[in-house]
Amino acid sequence: MTIRIATWNVNSVNARLPNVVEWLRDANPDVLVLQEIKCPDDKFPRFELEAAGWRCAVHGQKSYNGVAILSRHPIDAVSTGLPGDQSDEQARWIEATVQGIRIVSLYLPNGNPAPGDKFSYKLAWMRRMIERTRALLAEEHPLVLAGDYNVCPTDADLYDPDGWQSDALCRPESRALFRELCHLGLTEAFRSLHPEPGRYTFWDYQGGAWSRGEGLRIDHFLLSPQTADRLVACDIDKAPRGRDKASDHTPIWVELRR
């Protein structure tokens, strides 16, 4: 038996709800973690999703950010907010346990313009993420860190490396902290199975990026050793990006042995 977990930056869950419900019906994952839901908890479409058979754990924020976990199975031990800075009110981190797996939905800051305050916040957030991940790994339970990392790990993960080299998603500081995170003992699921370049999870709305194939790979699954040993498959589903009123991201999923 396997469990399938997907991640999707939906760029407003209420605006994309028909697409989300359709994809859940067709793809039938066990768990879907969402980013950029862009609504407070009380505006999350819980009724519609629960009616379709989904349990929901939500950490929302009005108009911006927001993360959630949807599951066909019970959701236990929910925790919201990335530790390390009590003054940080941005809703970018939620974790919970599903079927014995600790699952995190994360929305890492974009960081542009760089350098600047937003880039400094991004780097500080990544350092806090590293510390939280270190603590989670010390528990030695299966762990999945899934979401929009807003980092292209290498030049193989975007269509125009030279044009993006000064962007916060590709700057050496961002990439160095992503590598530091992985070096805690995590496996980057997609790249471990798909070494080929040119596979993307995001295409900007501007400039005809989708039709021109000008994408970025910024949505990732990082797996603890206990989870990586159970990895069966990981892939990107491009179809939702081509639908009407699409998010600028598309889902990516992993399949794990139970």
Domain with residue 102: its CATH number is: 3.60.10.10
* Positions in the chain short of pLDDT 50: none
Indicate the number of domains in the chain.
Answer: 1
Q: 0.95 cut: is pTM over it? A: yes
CA distances from 258 to 1, 139, 228, 232 (A): 6, 19, 12, 10
What residue ranges in 10-123 does DSSP mark as E strands? 31-35, 55-59, 67-71, 76-80, 93-98, 101-107
Burial class (CB in 10 A: 0-12, 13-18, 19+), 107: buried
Per DSSP, the three-state class of 108 is coil
Residue 22: its pLDDT value, please? 97
Residue 166: its pLDDT value, please? 97
Residue 122: its pLDDT value, please? 98
Domain with 14, as residue range(s), is 2-257
Taking Cα atoms as reference points, which of 6, 19, 10 lies closest to residue 65? 10
Q: What is the pLDDT of residues 48-90, one digit of tens each?
A: 999 999 999 999 999 999 999 999 999 999 999 999 999 999 9
Q: How far apart are CA 215 and CA 142, in angstroms?
A: 31
